[in-house]
Amino acid sequence: MNRRKLLVIIVIALLIAFFFWLDLGRFLTLAALKENRERLSAFYADHRLAMVAGFMAIYVVQTALSLPGAAILSLSAGAIFGTARGTVYAVIAATVGATAAFLATRYLLHDAVQRRFGPKLEKLNAELEARGLNYLLFLRLVPLFPFFLINLAAGLTRLPLRTFVLGTLVGIIPGGFVYVNAGASLASITSLREVASPRVLGSFTLLGLFALVPAMYQKIKGRKR
C-alpha cells in the first residue's frame, strides 16, 4: 500500500475516533433533537444559507464515514426545513456522502480485492455492469440491508460510478421522505421505531421487488436463449 492510501486511511480512522472520543453521538439522538429544535429553527430563520450548508455538510460527513445518526439527521431535516425542502437536502447530502464512501473504498481496496478474488467476482461484476441499477435500487429500497454496507461493498465491485449515484439518489427518496415527513411532526414521535412501521417497511420491500423485475426478466430471457 502506497503512502497516499495509508494517509487516507489514517485520516479516516482519526475522524471516526474523534467522533467517538468526544461522544458527538449524544447530539444525534431523538431527545437531543427535541430539546434543541426551537433553537435550530430560530437559527435557520436568521441564517438560512448557513443552516442549510451546515446541515448538509454534517450529513455528508456522517454518511461518508459510516457514522451513526442518519435517521436523526433525516428527522432534523423535516423538523427544521419542512418536508419538501428537508427531503431534498437530506437526499442530496446522503447521496454525496454515500458516493464519497464508495469512492474511498474503491480507491483504497478495490484493486487489492480484484487481484485476490478477480476471477471469482467476474460473473458478479459482469452482472452489475449490465443490470447494476436494478440491483442497487432493490438494495436501497429494501430496509434489510444497512446503508453503509452497501456503499462499502459496491466500491469493491466494478459497478459504474454513474450507476451508483443514480441508484442511490433514486433509491433513498422514499425512505428519506418518510423520515423527513415524520420529523416535520416531531412532537408526536416517541421512538424511531414508530417511523419505520411494518406497513412502511412492507411497502419499501414491495418497491424493491418491483425494481428487480427487469433484471429477473432479462436473466430468464437469456437462459431461454
Which residues lie closer than 8 Å to 34 by C-beta, 6 or more apart?
186, 187
Candidates 68, 94, 70, 77; CA nearest to 40 is 77
Q: How high is the pLDDT of residue 12?
A: 93
Q: Is 26 exposed, middle or buried (0-12, 13-18, 19+ CB in 10 A)?
A: exposed
Q: How high is the pLDDT of residue 53?
A: 97
pLDDT tens for each residue of 84-123:
999 999 999 999 999 999 999 999 988 777 777 767 777 7
Rg of the chain over all Cα atoms, to the nearest angstrom: 19
Q: How high is the pLDDT of residue 1?
A: 62
Q: How high is the pLDDT of residue 111?
A: 79
Q: Is 48 exposed, middle or buried (0-12, 13-18, 19+ CB in 10 A)?
A: exposed
Region class of 70: left (phi > 0), else alpha (psi between -120 and 50), else beta: alpha
> What residues does each domain of the chain span?
3-224
Residue 81 grid cell:
426545513
Q: How high is the pLDDT of residue 78?
A: 95
Q: How high is the pLDDT of residue 125?
A: 78
State the DSSP code for 166.
H
Q: What is the DSSP string of 108-142?
A: IIIHHHHHHHHHHHHHHHHHHHHHHHHHHHHHHHS
Q: What is the DSSP string of 173-215?
A: HHHHHHHHHHHTTGGG-S-GGGTS-HHHHHHHHHHHHHHHHHH
Q: Spell out the per-residue pLDDT of the chain, length 225, in tens.
A: 688 888 989 999 999 999 999 999 999 999 999 999 999 999 999 999 999 999 999 999 999 999 999 999 999 999 999 999 999 999 999 999 999 999 999 999 887 777 777 677 777 778 788 788 888 998 898 877 889 999 998 998 889 999 999 999 999 999 999 999 999 888 778 887 778 767 677 777 777 777 777 666 566 665 655
Neighbours of 46 (CB within 10 A): 8
Q: How high is the pLDDT of residue 211?
A: 73
Residue length, the chain?
A: 225
